[in-house]
């Protein structure tokens, strides 16, 4: 049975049991500080599990999940994956154990027609209720029901003894038995045996307790069901496959990888499986907006790409290859993820860029290792070497094995403990920076217990409202007085709360002479929180007040928000349909728009995009907004932000014939109100992602006026017309370059005349000629040419020349050929460049540096002499 059919059967089965079918959440769960990636189907239902009322009490989903805890095991075992799909059915205070067990059994044995004799179950050793349901209701033989302890059949594992505190409960697992001729073939083999005969396919978690200090289990007033079944494992069972990888989810990927293998190795299958697994994790991470980087989620993606590249090199594939697997994967997953096909080229480009960069690093690893570690061949410090080995691994991706081989060849010892300590520190930093808490129910939100705020801000800039709650320093209060900072919740509001990249509104809440200045508006789920300070008088719970936004500021924000929609439309025309929004920031003073594209925009492309947006503005198109079902919105072609989680109904904002996007933000009634659009900057954010910063309206006018004033000043200085400014500047710059060239020649002639004196009167240190000279107001060309002349005249010397030009320091160091076995110009420059406030490098015989402290050149010369003096 094909995996796509399996997925549909599961969802349709639970739809028939009155479950709401909920689309997969992204791999980056919103408002959840406990995880980097979505690790299980239950994560997107955390609020329901915590008792927050929604429009459904039963749900089912096929959730894409990503786990990296067992990254090193992927491929070595056939049951571990980084990315996988978890089928799950959930109950939030609705049905409980009996229904969950009956429906699980019905789905497996009746819907999928799995033989009952091939299934085994386990229950928590103290859960007599679940045991009786399996034995008395389902009718499973007692010898096929296994009672297991806290570690195997309680969630979280060992929670009773070790915590954490919070919701928990026993679980019951369903196993598939491949038969006595599989695995260890021992008579005593059961589901606890790791031999592979039994594979867990479904885990039913009965969340019925609240754990408290001391391991006290207090019954929950609302009992929940949380189940999880790995689609990959189920596919293997239903397709009679040897393991998860030999199913239709992986076979096309395996075929392509195996076809391109250049070198046969004993563990070939392990690496092929791992690569096929990793490309799924990499592709879907990028699909959900996680781009390779050196921190947080991006670091995980980069790490998995690098691990895959190393696997490929072990198989003899040394050129970029991973990116070629994306189209194959998009074909496999086109049924559940049709959008992946449209984005595959962009995702491929991002992966290709990462592959090229890492392969380049690996190919030059010997140079990198030498530059970082060569100095330790004489003065070894194993702990310091260990720390640098970790830096090479963590920052550059150099495999530990490769570094160890290099160290062994060069007789350098490193501390494995120092390496491991640095690794642990990095993990702690990563966890801290991501604000992860580790407890899936540690909700970092205010418990508000109020109805959703009615937002009237699309049509009204002020309204009458009632104060429902006042919060000060995290605690509810009944009254706030002048000078107090508070958060106020109203029953309805015209204030837009920050979301979708648009900042929150500001304004005033008032009742007569009682005034509260609103400085920001935030959102907790669908409850709007007005952040402000009591300016005059006081505010009390149940007050009937007037809420009014800062209209001028809202208008400026709307200009920038509408402009982002026009900008995306223009970018797709100029650059192509691969352009997709990756993020945005809409403020009153500016806008920022991140989008997928493979290279920097040319000046012509930037001007064309700017021109198109301004054309749309001048044409004064009307904007329209409409609420519609998510599926219908997608059918209309409305663009969505792929990393965003959308509900069943969405708001679509359209500009006739040009733009149609999912958007909950505030906009203008027509494009003409934008006034003017100016692009301020275009640059790179990450591999395959560009950023445009722009201004509109009054801000754009100010920029234009400022540029006009500058041009007028230049015109007056050059005594020419505005049209001829560029031509006259070109003439002036050309003349300056000519004069600088003449000055350089004069400087060089001056040095040439002094060369004989420099060569004949060197300072002798340890029997080595040392020549140092400050040549004021000279560029690097003069210093290099002067160095060449001195080397021709003096066959044995250490030479340093410096210049202080335009408040900058320039420095060159040269070593004659007979002394390069004793001195390294590159190393010397690195040691002394810091003195002039800069950095540098080069070869053994010549190196250069620049800095911003020219007054320290004499100190640099002095240090060079000390270095020569210290060499015997």
Instruction: Output the DSSP codes for 508-527.
Output: EEEETTEEEEEEEEEEETTE
pLDDT of residue 84: 95
User: How far does Cα 726 stand from its chain's mean position?
Assistant: 43
pLDDT of residue 747: 67
Averaged over 606-630, what is the pLDDT?
Answer: 95
One of 3.60.21.10, 3.20.20.120, 3.10.310.40, 3.40.50.300 is the CATH number of 755-869, namely: 3.10.310.40
List Cα–Cα distances, 708 to 221, 321, 713, 758, in angstroms. 70, 51, 9, 53
Across 240-244, 330-334, 502-506, least confident range: 240-244
324, 257 Cβ separation under 8 angstroms? no
CA distance 739 to 787: 23
List Cα–Cα distances, 485 to 125, 494, 547, in angstroms. 53, 21, 17
pLDDT tens for residues 219-261? 988 899 999 999 999 999 999 998 899 999 999 999 999 999 9
CA distance 827 to 831: 6
379, pLDDT greater than 80: no
Which three-class secondary structure state does DSSP give residue 680? strand
DSSP code at position 23:
P
Q: How confident is the model at residue 378 (pLDDT cuts 50, 70, 90)?
A: low
Residue 263 corresponds to which tokens in the numbers above? 């070198």
pLDDT tens for residues 461-495? 999 999 999 999 889 999 999 999 999 999 999 99
Question: Length of the chain in residues, anyone?
Answer: 872
Place of tokens 């192509």: 576
Averaged over 15-39, what is the pLDDT?
Answer: 86
pLDDT of residue 395: 78
When the pLDDT of each residue in the chain is averaged and rounded to a whole number, the result is 89
pLDDT of residue 387: 84
CA distance 866 to 426: 38
CA distance 823 to 839: 19
User: How far does Cα 405 stand from its chain's mean position?
Assistant: 33
Across 165-169, 320-324, 556-560, 748-752, least confident range: 748-752
pLDDT of residue 560: 97
pLDDT of residue 442: 47
431, pLDDT greater than 80: no
610, pLDDT greater than 50: yes
291: how many CB neighbours lie within 10 A of its CB? 20
Ranges assigned E (strand) in 557-647? 581-586, 591-596, 623-629
511-518 contacts: CB < 8 A, separation 24 or more? Answer: 511/537, 511/539, 511/543, 511/544, 511/545, 511/546, 512/537, 513/537, 514/538, 514/539, 514/543, 516/480, 516/486, 516/488, 518/488
Averaged over 27-54, what is the pLDDT?
Answer: 80
For residue 470, the surrounding DSSP H or E stretch is: strand 462-472
N-term to C-term CA, the chain: 78
Q: How confident is the model at residue 443 (pLDDT cuts 50, 70, 90)?
A: very low
Q: Backbone dihedral region of 139: left (phi > 0), alpha (psi from -120 to 50 degrees) or beta?
A: left
pLDDT of residue 430: 57
131 or 716, greater pLDDT: 131
Q: How confident is the model at residue 370 (pLDDT cuts 50, 70, 90)?
A: confident
597, 578 Cβ separation under 8 angstroms? yes
Task: Name the nearest CA neighbour of 321 among 289, 276, 287.
Answer: 276
238, 201 Cβ separation under 8 angstroms? no
Extents of the domains making up the chain: 3-246, 258-363, 364-435, 454-549, 557-705, 755-869
pLDDT of residue 210: 87
For residue 175, the surrounding DSSP H or E stretch is: strand 166-177
CA distance 512 to 533: 16
For residue 471, the surrounding DSSP H or E stretch is: strand 462-472
Q: How confident is the model at residue 441 (pLDDT cuts 50, 70, 90)?
A: low
pLDDT of residue 433: 47
pLDDT of residue 643: 62
List Cα–Cα distances, 3 to 248, 333, 574, 659, 818, in angstroms. 7, 10, 39, 36, 71
CB contact set of 66 (below 8 Å; sequence gap of 6+): 27, 37, 38, 39, 82, 83, 281, 284, 285
Residue 281 corresponds to which tokens in the numbers above? 């994790």
Which residues on adjacent β-strands are paired with residue 219? Answer: 209
Averaged over 586-603, what is the pLDDT?
Answer: 93
Task: Name the nearest CA neighbour of 446 among 475, 466, 468.
Answer: 475
Place of tokens 């008792």: 51
496, pLDDT greater than 80: yes
CB contact set of 473 (below 8 Å; sequence gap of 6+): none
DSSP code at position 674:
G
pLDDT of residue 437: 47
CA distance 446 to 471: 10
What are the residue ranges of helices labelled H in 410-504? Answer: 416-433
Q: Angle at the Cα of 777 (from 775 to 783), degrees rounded to 5?
A: 50
561, pLDDT greater than 90: yes
CA distance 864 to 351: 46
630, 650 Cβ separation under 8 angstroms? yes
Q: State percent of the chain over pLDDT 70.
A: 95
List Cα–Cα distances, 375 to 372, 671, 749, 842, in angstroms. 8, 63, 40, 16
pLDDT of residue 183: 83
Q: How confident is the model at residue 596 (pLDDT cuts 50, 70, 90)?
A: confident
- Fold for the domain defined by 454-549: Elongation Factor Tu (Ef-tu); domain 3 (2.40.30)
CA distance 403 to 197: 40
pLDDT of residue 167: 85
754 or 821, greater pLDDT: 821
DSSP output for 64-84: EEE--TTGGGBTTBSS--SEE
CA distance 570 to 706: 26
Q: How confident is the model at residue 16 (pLDDT cuts 50, 70, 90)?
A: very high
pLDDT of residue 444: 43
Averaged over 130-145, what is the pLDDT?
Answer: 95
pLDDT of residue 642: 65
445, pLDDT greater than 60: no
Averaged over 94-114, what is the pLDDT?
Answer: 96
Averaged over 667-689, what is the pLDDT?
Answer: 92
Which residues on adjacent β-strands are paired with residue 169? Answer: 155
Domain with residues 557-705, CATH architecture: 2-Layer Sandwich (3.30)
547, 560 Cβ separation under 8 angstroms? no
Global confidence as pTM: 0.73
Ranges assigned E (strand) in 634-792? 649-655, 659-662, 677-686, 689-696, 763-765, 768-774
- Fold for the domain defined by 3-246: BirA Bifunctional Protein; domain 2 (3.30.930)
């Amino acid at each position: 049975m094909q995996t796509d059919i399996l997925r549909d059967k599961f969802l349709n089965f639970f739809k028939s049991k009155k479950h709401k079918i909920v689309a997969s959440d992204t791999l980056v769960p919103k408002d959840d500080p406990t995880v980097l990636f979505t690790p299980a189907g239950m994560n997107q239902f955390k609020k329901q599990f915590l008792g927050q009322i929604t429009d459904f009490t039963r749900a089912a989903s096929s959730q894409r999940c990503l786990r990296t805890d067992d990254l090193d095991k992927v491929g070595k075992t056939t049951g571990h994956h980084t990315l996988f799909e978890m089928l799950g059915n959930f109950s939030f205070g609705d049905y409980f154990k009996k229904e969950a067990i009956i429906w699980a059994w019905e789905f497996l044995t009746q819907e999928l027609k799995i033989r009952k004799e091939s299934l085994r179950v386990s229950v928590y050793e103290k859960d007599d209720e679940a045991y009786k349901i399996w034995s008395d209701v389902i009718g499973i033989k007692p010898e096929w029901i296994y009672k297991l302890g806290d570690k195997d059949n309680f969630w979280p594992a060992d929670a009773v003894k070790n915590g954490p505190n919070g919701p928990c409960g026993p679980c019951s697992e369903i196993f598939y038995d491949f038969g006595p001729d599989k695995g260890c073939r021992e008579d005593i083999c059961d589901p606890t045996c790791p031999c592979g005969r039994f594979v867990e396919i479904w885990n039913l978690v009965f969340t019925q307790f609240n754990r408290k200090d001391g391991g006290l289990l207090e019954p929950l007033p609302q009992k929940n069901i949380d189940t999880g079944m790995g689609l990959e494992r189920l596919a293997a069972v239903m397709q009679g496959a040897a393991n998860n990888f030999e199913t239709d989810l992986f076979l096309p990927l395996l075929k392509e990888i195996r076809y391109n293998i250049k070198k046969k190795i004993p563990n070939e299958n392990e690496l092929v499986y791992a690569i096929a697994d990793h490309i799924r994790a990499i592709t879907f991470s990028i699909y959900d907006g996680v781009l390779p980087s050196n921190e947080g989620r991006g670091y995980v993606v980069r790490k998995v790409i690098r691990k895959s590249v190393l696997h490929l090199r072990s198989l003899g594939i040394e050129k970029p290859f991973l990116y070629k697997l994306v189209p194959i994967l998009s074909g496999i997953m086109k049924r559940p993820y049709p959008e992946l096909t449209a984005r595959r080229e962009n995702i491929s480009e991002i992966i290709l860029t990462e592959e090229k960069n890492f392969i380049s690093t690996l190919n030059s690893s010997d140079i990198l290792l030498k530059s970082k570690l060569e100095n330790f061949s004489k003065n070894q410090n194993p702990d310091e070497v260990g720390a640098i080995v970790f830096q090479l691994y963590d920052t550059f991706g150099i495999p530990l094995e490769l570094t160890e081989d290099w160290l062994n060849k060069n007789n350098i010892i490193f501390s494995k403990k120092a390496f491991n300590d640095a690794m642990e520190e990095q993990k702690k930093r990563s966890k801290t920076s991501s604000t992860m808490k580790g407890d899936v129910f540690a909700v970092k939100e205010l418990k508000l217990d109020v109805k959703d705020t009615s937002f009237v801000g699309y049509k009204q800039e002020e309204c009458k409202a009632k104060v429902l709650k006042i919060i000060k320093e995290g605690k509810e209060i009944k009254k706030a007085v002048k000078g107090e900072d508070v958060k106020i919740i109203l029953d309805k509001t015209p204030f837009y709360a920050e979301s979708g990249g648009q900042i929150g509104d500001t304004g005033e809440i008032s009742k007569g002479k009682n005034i509260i200045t609103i400085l920001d508006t935030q959102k907790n789920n669908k409850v709007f929180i007005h952040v402000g300070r009591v300016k005059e008088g006081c505010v009390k719970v149940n007050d009937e007040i007037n809420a009014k936004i800062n209209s001028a500021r809202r208008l400026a924000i709307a200009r920038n928000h509408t402009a982002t929609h026009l900008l995306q439309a223009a970018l797709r025309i100029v650059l192509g349909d691969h352009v997709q929004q990756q993020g945005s920031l809409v403020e009153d003073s500016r806008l920022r728009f991140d989008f997928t594209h493979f290279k920097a925009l040319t000046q012509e492309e930037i001007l064309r995009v700017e021109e198109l947006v301004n054309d749309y503005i001048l044409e004064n198109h009307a904007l329209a907004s409409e609420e519609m079902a998510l599926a219908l919105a997608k059918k209309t072609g409305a663009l969505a932000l792929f990393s965003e989680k959308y509900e069943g109904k969405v708001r679509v904002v359209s500009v006739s014939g040009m733009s149609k996007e999912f958007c909950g933000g505030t906009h203008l009634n027509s494009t003409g109100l934008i006034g003017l659009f100016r692009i301020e900057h275009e640059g790179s954010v990450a591999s395959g992602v560009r950023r445009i910063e722009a201004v509109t309206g009054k801000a754009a006018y100010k920029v234009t006026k400022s540029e006009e004033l500058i041009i007028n000043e230049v015109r007056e200085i050059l005594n020419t017309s505005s049209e001829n400014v560029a031509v006259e500047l070109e003439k002036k710059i050309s003349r300056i370059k000519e004069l600088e060239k003449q000055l350089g020649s004069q400087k060089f002639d001056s040095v040439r005349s002094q060369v004989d004196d420099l060569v004949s009167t060197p300072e002798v240190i340890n029997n080595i000629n040392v020549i140092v000279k400050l040549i004021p107001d000279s560029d690097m060309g003069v210093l290099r040419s002067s160095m060449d002349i001195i080397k021709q005249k003096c066959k044995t010397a250490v030479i340093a020349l410096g210049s202080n030009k335009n408040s900058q320091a320039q420095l060159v160091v040269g070593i004659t050929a007979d002394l390069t076995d004793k001195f390294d110009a590159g190393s010397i420059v690195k040691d002394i460049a810091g003195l002039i406030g800069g950095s540098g490098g080069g070869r053994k015989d010549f190196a250069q540096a620049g800095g911003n402290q020219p007054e320290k050149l004499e100190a640099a010369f002095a240090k060079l002499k000390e270095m020569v003096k210290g060499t015997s």
